[in-house]
Amino acid sequence: MADVSQTDVHQPAAEAEPAVLTITPIAASKVRELMAERQLEGYALRVFVQGGGCSGLSYGMAFEENIYPQDRVVEADGVRLVIDPTSLMYMAGSEIDYVDSLMGGGFAIHNPNAVSTCGCGHSFRTEEGADAGGYGGGCSCH
């Protein structure tokens, strides 16, 4: 009888599904810095999607103490990221970065699910919304 390893019996898990969320080291450092300034020990960074913005959906982030049973939690580089199931549908596999430039700094989200984004990068549209029309108007983020 041949010896069957666990990899032969189980489906590959990590390869089939993209990471929930990732955060770059510089963004994690900035989040830790902001949390320390505000004395928010034990809080997490909630990342979410809401309707609105030039492209139809917009990103949001907030420090949150409450984590709900349906939330997905990712621990990375000393930061807890929390995302609700609806937002996860639009943001699975996204990376949070922090960009500092001459024009100012801020968090940026690199979302593999977005088929178009606003000029400022704060709003986006997914494939499901590409044909729906009626999203936003002119970009008012300038």
Q: What is the DSSP string of 53-105?
A: STTSEEEEEEEES---TT-EEEEETTEEEEE-HHHHHHHTTEEEEEEEETTEE
Is the predicted pLDDT of residue 45 greater than 80, yes or no? yes
Query: pLDDT tens digits, residue range 25-37?
Result: 999 999 999 999 9
Residue 123 has pLDDT above 80, yes or no: no
Rounded average pLDDT over 45-63: 84
Q: What is the pLDDT of residue 36?
A: 97
The pTM of the full predicted model, rounded to 2 decimals, is 0.70
Domain borders along the chain are 20-129
Considering the domain delimited by 20-129, tell me its CATH architecture.
Sandwich (2.60)
